Amino acid sequence: MAFHEKSAWWMLIALSVLSVLYANALFGLSGDGQIPPPNVPVLIRYTVALVIVAVIGHIIIAATAPSDANAEPDERERKIFDRAGRISGFVFGFGVVSAMLFYLFQSNGDALFYGVFACLVASQLVEYLVKIYLYRTALD
């Protein structure tokens, strides 16, 4: 398994777990079912936790195969990165436009913030999933 594929697996799992924990924390802040305003301390804890988990995971992955960690991506990997980034960009763009349209009808800035934030997370998850899929299948 290539270093970048291991990295995609690690980040997929880390981002998924931490995003669920973040969403759970937000639902805990909203007692009456309303969308809570963005909470900076909770967002900072989420971001710091994600960075720490990502760094620790990548250190472990790099330690298991140091030559792979320093290797330049080959032509196949560059195609994988390009395709995954393009699909991820479409997901992000569609989500942001959808969140903006929702804002036009609901005028809820908190929902707009969380909608765009969710699109950012979803697009990254899609990018990691596409990378894993393309590593596992033959790329033309």
Question: Each residue of 71-121: pLDDT tens digit?
Answer: 788 888 899 999 999 999 999 999 999 999 999 998 889 889 999 999 999
Question: Each residue of 24-69: pLDDT tens digit?
Answer: 888 777 767 678 888 888 899 999 999 999 999 999 999 988 877 7
Domain ranges of the chain: 3-136
CB burial of residue 58 (10 Å; 0-12, 13-18, 19+): middle
Please give, one letter per residue, the 3-state secondary structure of the chain: CCHHHHHHHHHHHHHHHHHHHHHHHHHHHCCCCCCCCCCHHHHHHHHHHHHHHHHHHHHHHHHHCHHHHHCCCCHHHHHHHHHHHHHHHHHHHHHHHHHHHHHHHHCCHHHHHHHHHHHHHHHHHHHHHHHHHHHHCCCC
pLDDT of 140 above 70: no
- Arithmetic mean of pLDDT, 1-21: 92
Distance CA 104, CA 118 (A): 18
Please state the pTM of the whole predicted model.
Answer: 0.88
pLDDT of 138 above 70: no
The per-residue pLDDT for 28 is 77
